[in-house]
Amino acid sequence: MTLFTGLSAFPITPANQSGRVDTDALRTLISRLAGSGIDSIGLLGSTGTYMYLSRDERARAIESAIAEAAGRVPVIAGIGALRTDDAIALAGDAKALGAAAGLLAPVSYTLLSENEVFEHFAAVAGESGLPIVIYDNPGTTHFRFTSELIARLARLPGIVAAKNPTVTPDDSPAHLATLRAQVPPGFSVGYSGDWNCVEALIAGADAWYSVLAGMFPTVCVNLARTAREDSVEARRLNAALTPVWDLMRQHTGLRVIYALAERLGIRAEPPRPILPLAERVKQQVLDTFDALSETLDQSGVI
């Protein structure tokens, strides 16, 4: 598999409430992922709380993750920032530390226009020299990429892939077909939103950018591979994970995964003002994952 195909696993970034990354805990997560059969690690994504970390702490996270991955699996690092010059600097840091690519979202306070987003991406890709994955995450940025904008960006040197959100399972094949018709050959079209991604994979999407894989890679590796070979079995496995998808939709993947981290011996809470799940809900999460232990193939972790 090439870098921008297959399964990309997105772990949390354990840190204390002062924003200091717990590199030992992060390396524990990366070690689990690197030997699992995934195709890349999506470090410092939204689940990795990149926007809550300083430039120095992001660099510490990238350095630790790449050292632990030790060439076994490439690392794509989140480089989003409010200011273009800051995103360029973060991309430069990621490249210098050995990241294979940067994941760039149009982070904003003031709503951005399509032209502003185009110029932002062009500057980061052009000035950093780091391959860039377009990160379309309207739930956090409040900006939604049109297929026309992605097609414009895909023709810029250094912009190599897109990580698209999924709205519903039924919408993904049509969205994929529309993008395929507009982007250059070889440009990678991938999807996030774990609960909807199986249909995108069955339709031929290049990549699945997965939150669940950041904690439970084995079941996601199996699902991603099965979607290429046996759509009936892939849909059956995806349906078996419905209780997990329901929890992630209701409480966000970030909060659900943080609730499970302690089972790996990782004591971490999301950065304030994000609050951990209430104990009642946390117990519901734990009970749900316990009931699915065989499906998740958790190797005794839960």
Is residue 236 packed enough to be buried (19+ CB in 10 Å), middle (13-18) or exposed (0-12)?
A: exposed
Looking at residue 48, its pLDDT comes to: 98
User: Under the phi-then-psi rule, with left for phi > 0, alpha for psi from -120 to 50, and beta for the rest, what region is 44?
Assistant: left
Can you tell me the distance from the alpha carbon of 223 to that of 1, in angstroms, rounded to the nearest whole number?
Answer: 16
Task: Determine which one of 135, 191, 209, 258 is catalytic.
Answer: 135
pTM of the model: 0.96
What separation in angstroms does the CA of 46 have from each of 50, 103, 175?
6, 10, 22
Per residue in 248-297, pLDDT (tens digit) is 999 999 999 999 998 888 989 999 999 999 999 999 999 999 999 888 86
- Domains of the chain: which residue ranges? 6-230
Q: Is 135 a catalytic residue?
A: yes
Compute the mean pLDDT over every residue in the chain, rounded to the nearest whole number. 95
- 298 has pLDDT over 90: no
Best CA proximity match to 215, nearest among 161, 171, 255 = 255
DSSP state of 270: P
| Residue 11 preceded by cis peptide, ω within 30 | no
Residue 47 marked as a ligand binder: yes
Residue whose C-alpha is closest to residue 256's, from 193, 211, 217: 211
Active site residue 163: yes
Of 50, 95, 163, 258, catalytic: 163
CB count in 10 Å sphere of residue 184: 8
The two three-digit tokens of residue 160, written as one number: 């190599």
Does 300 have pLDDT greater than 80? Answer: no
pLDDT band at 299 (very low <50, low <70, confident <90, very high): very low
Question: What tokens were used for 114?
Answer: 């399509």
Tokens found for residue 64: 């630790």
Q: What is the CATH number of domain 6-230?
A: 3.20.20.70
Q: What pairing do the DSSP bridges indicate for beta strands 75-78 and 40-43?
A: parallel
